[in-house]
Amino acid sequence: MKIRKGTVVVAILLAFTVSVSALAQRRNQQQQQQQQQRGGQADAQAQQLGPQPTSKEELDAFVALQSEQNAAAKLAKGDEFVAKFPTSDFISYAHTFRMMSLTQMGKHKESAAAAEQALNSTIKLGEKMIAKADADSKLTDKDKDNARKKDKNVVFLDKNSPQFQQFMSQMDQRIMAFYQSMIQSYQQVNDAAKMMEVADKALAYKPDDLNTLVMLSNVMAERPPTNEDQKKTHLARAEELAKQGITQLPVFISSPEGAQLNNEQKADLASNLHYTLGLIYLHQKKFSDSEKEFGVALQAKANDPITYYRLGLAYAQDLKNDQAMDALAKSVFLKGVSEPNARDILKQLYVQKNKSEQGLEDYIKNAGQKIGQ
């Protein structure tokens, strides 16, 4: 597989968990200050939305968990937090830290289970906040005044407020990041069936999610079934997903999330999608279409040895031996996991044409110098 997105997903989840921890600490400090200042009311609108600790002990335990750097110790503190505060608003974040620690420790199957727990508890937190917002919308001004007299730190949720909508949008991003993490974990343990099962769930939650479209179409393209009837149906769906991803790509690039990517990351997305579609066409023996898509992938990312290798296979099966040799030579020049296979096929084609291996290394070197031109 060509997908390499693990660090991006972790960065998204880590950013959210760290910001939530800072938010919780600020809220706790604000509440302590307000309790010391007799009189006055808390400005609920000025407070940011987020999970709320029910005690200083709970907040301190979460901050200690967030601050721990050692993966094994962090996992232990995460397990302890989940056991001690099972109804905490911070449960999903605790599971997130457990997931990250397990990934660092190479326990990918357990990491997938932790990601699923984080996902489920995130959904529950969202449902809890929506239910409170619905209940708050039915309160009169008098009801709110009475509530403030009992607890001056009370917060009323408004589903139409920018703060509420932003927080729920971030929760959606976290949910999709958990799906992505599970997909990557199952990729690590070579469980393609579970990868596709999770990806299907992710697309049911958000049908236009580009990351899922990229990953699922690529998994399906790289691992088609051997049964011809199943393979035909399998590849048809993979083609549909890849094309949907290509259509969605410019929309994603122009979105706030896409704006955070650098040019290399954007090029990777384009390259991966067109590479995947090219591989699907190669399996379907649509060689001309396959060659075209691999070419587009290389325009986005000119130094990918695997794409050159697959392009060489397409040319070879299309009986375009000179083009096949050029692509395979570039794959060999760039090295990587495809080098042995690319070299073997290149040698066969070169000897077939030249009746000897003499000059092969110079041919590879000259082809490599043309990369990107």
Which tokens belong to 126? 């969202």
Report pLDDT digits (tens) over 247-261: 999 999 999 888 889
Tens digits of per-residue pLDDT, 167-199? 888 888 889 999 989 988 998 898 888 988 998
pLDDT score for 348: 97
Residue spans per domain, the chain: 1-206
The whole-number pLDDT of residue 30 equals 42
Closest CA to 357 of 371, 346, 366, 367: 346
String of DSSP letters for 49-95:
PS---SSHHHHHHHHHHHH--SHHHHHHHHHHHHHH-TT-TTHHHHH
CB distance 112 to 182 below 8 Å: yes
Q: What is the pLDDT of residue 48?
A: 53
- Write out residues in the chain with pLDDT < 50, as ranges: 1, 3-12, 14-16, 18, 20-47
Whole-structure pTM over 0.75, yes or no? no
Query: 50: alpha, beta or left, given left = phi > 0 and alpha = psi -120 to 50?
Result: left
Residue among 122, 126, 69 at smallest CA distance from 95? 122
The alpha carbon of 296 is separated from its chain's Cα centroid by a whole number of angstroms, namely 23
